[in-house]
């Protein structure tokens, strides 16, 4: 379970099972103070990190030497002013460099992350049911 606590204004502190807390906030024009990424930014970063961890693990097992690696996530959202504004499409771009990287090994590592290992990608593809509950203490 992840617990998210309000810290005032639009800032919320998340406490995941690891116990390593992080803060999410809104943009200043939306009442935030820039204390952390927005929830949507954190969501995109989660997708990137999940896939990147798979790819780097697979490439390490294939004895590939990666010296630099970044993942860029971009997406198309619904029109401004219409809510909600979910992503309609997302692109996850893996950019690597290293000593004698085998393009086929990189391609296969990305494919395996995308189709088999990344739980975030799998969750997005499943479109799970989301239920909201509430209580007053």
Residue-wise pLDDT tens digits, 68-127? 999 999 999 999 999 999 999 999 999 999 999 999 999 999 999 999 999 999 999 999
Q: Where are the domains of the chain?
A: 1-36, 38-137
Contact 26, 32 (CB under 8 A): yes
Q: What is the pLDDT of residue 76?
A: 94
Contact 99, 115 (CB under 8 A): no
Give one word for 64, left, alpha or beta, with left for phi > 0 and alpha for psi -120 to 50: beta
pTM of the model: 0.91
Q: What is the pLDDT of residue 94?
A: 98
Please say whether the dihedral angle defined by the alpha carbons of residues 50, 51, 52 and 53, taken in this order, is positive or negative: positive
The domain 38-137 having CATH identifier 3.30.300.20: the answer here is yes
| Residue partners of 41: CB distance under 8 A and separation at least 6 | none
């Amino acid at each position: 379970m992840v617990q998210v606590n309000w810290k005032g204004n639009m800032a919320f502190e998340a406490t995941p099972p690891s116990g390593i807390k992080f803060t999410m906030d809104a943009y200043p024009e939306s009442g935030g103070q820039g204390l952390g990424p927005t929830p949507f930014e954190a969501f995109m970063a989660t997708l990137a990190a999940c896939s990147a961890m798979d790819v780097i693990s697979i490439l390490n097992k294939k004895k590939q030497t990666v010296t630099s690696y970044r993942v860029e996530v971009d997406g198309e959202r619904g029109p401004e002013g219409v809510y909600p504004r979910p992503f309609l499409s997302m692109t996850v771009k893996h950019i690597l460099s290293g000593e004698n990287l085998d393009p086929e090994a990189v391609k296969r590592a990305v494919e395996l992350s995308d189709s088999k290992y990344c739980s975030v990608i799998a969750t997005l593809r499943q479109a799970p049911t989301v239920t909201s509950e509430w209580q007053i203490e």
